[in-house]
Amino acid sequence: MQKLSKSLFPIIIAFTIIGISFTACEDSSEQISSHYPLLNNPKFEDKYRDRENDNAAEQYPLEVLAQFELPENWQEIAEIQNKYAEIIYELDYERLVDYDYLFKDMCFASRTAFNWRDVGKVTAVRNQGGCGSCWAFAAMGAYESSNMIRNNITADVSEQDVLNCAGAGSCRGGWYDPVFKYMLTNGVASEASEPYLALDDFCSPRLYKPFRAINWGFVTVKREIPSVQELKDALCKYGSLSIAVKATSAFMRYNPADGVFKEEEAGKGINHAITLVGWDDNKNAWLIKNSWGSGWGDNGYMWIDYNTNNVGYAATWVQAQSRFYIPDDYLLEVIRERFEIINPFLHPEEFEKIEG
């Protein structure tokens, strides 16, 4: 297999492991779980509740549901990660050159409209319940889409495992970059083996964790919100994206009968993580997948104007490990330049065990 130019090695060697110390935002007056008893119920699983009642926005206040919080230096973290991601992307693509037909889907950024849901590359809408874990659902939404695109595998990956083990946050807030790091270095379990509880729990490191990322990065490090064209390009290149938005009371009450959501007085900042799955220029809007249940919005989705509520902030992509090759020593060497310890990746035949 052809290797990359040796000129890349100075760049690779220059990378250092970044210790990301993230502290989730907390309720300064009283623990949120004391207000919402369901959080303390270990049997609480509302992910697949009846559609008529499957709407977290009708059961919990905004400050419980929307708890996405970025560290102040997130753009510095993103810049270093993107340098690493560019190298891995080239290595990954090099190994898949014989399978590039798999990526020639129907997505072209020049199209007037496209979304991954309509071509069957988006998993079912989930419900985060009364836990501020939107960041975990946004990350898993993007990963599951990539897994469907790259491997044709429809899998429900465990947000609870991410919540327990990734070090990315808690029910009181978090963000998705450490989630993807954990998916590359350790892997994540299936929903069946670690069901969602909507509460903070202990990590189960002995679980079988076959769902692995091979790479991730930010759509751009030049600005907080990528341009419409940059987001379209990323959607076609990588699949669904993890993005942030400013969720408000109006956002919570979104009614698809009112058309595209646009809020004139949304204010600054972001507080919620969602999954971006497509666009429609005729609507001047993005199609986003939320994690408040299928009873919210348009069966769990929303059409939101390109230029409202800071939608697209800190947009991030992830690529699932491909079933079509085993990462070789050269690729693993590059990965270890950034992450010293990584668990073994799946062999292609093992992918048959994780389908469905």
39, 198 contact by CB (below 8 A): yes
Pairing of strands 272-280, 241-245: antiparallel
Q: Fill in the amino acid letter for 64.
A: V
pLDDT(190) > 60: yes
What is the predicted pLDDT for the residue at 19? 35
- By CB neighbour count within 10 A (0-12 exposed, 13-18 middle, 19+ buried), where does 247 fall? buried
Q: pLDDT of 237-291, one tens digit each?
A: 999 999 999 999 999 999 999 999 999 888 889 999 999 999 999 999 999 999 9
Give the separation between CA 35 and CA 39, rounded to whole angstroms: 9
What is the predicted pLDDT for the residue at 211? 96
213, 180 contact by CB (below 8 A): yes
Q: Encode 148-159: b = buried (16+ Cβ within 10 Å), e = exposed.
A: bbbbebebbbbb
Beta bridge partners of 303: 287
State phi, psi for 147 to the nearest 5 degrees.
-65, -35
pLDDT(28) > 50: no
Give the separation between CA 172 and CA 279, rounded to whole angstroms: 31
For the chain, what is the mean pLDDT? Answer: 85
Give the separation between CA 273 and CA 174, rounded to whole angstroms: 9
pLDDT(232) > 50: yes
Q: pLDDT of 84-143, one tens digit each?
A: 999 999 999 888 865 544 555 679 999 999 999 999 999 999 999 999 999 999 999 999
Residue 216 structure tokens:
């991730």
Q: pLDDT of 91-105, one tens digit each?
A: 998 888 655 445 556
Instruction: State the sign of the Cα–Cα–Cα–Cα dihedral 282, 287, 292, 295.
Output: positive
What is the predicted pLDDT for the residue at 99? 55
Give the separation between CA 182 and CA 173, rounded to whole angstroms: 17
3-state secondary structure of 18: coil
pTM, to two decimals = 0.84
263, 309 contact by CB (below 8 A): yes
What is the predicted pLDDT for the residue at 3? 37
Q: Where are any strands of DSSP class E within the chain? A: 113-115, 169-170, 173-174, 213-218, 241-245, 272-280, 285-289, 301-305, 313-320
C-alpha torsion 245→251→257→258, nearest 10 = -90
Gyration radius of the chain over CA positions: 19
Residue with tokens 């970044």: 18
Find the helix packing angle between 329-338 and 74-95, rounded to 10°. Answer: 180
What is the predicted pLDDT for the residue at 35? 33
Residues noted as catalytic: 134, 272, 290
DSSP string of 188-216? B-BTTTS---SS-----TTS---B-EEEE
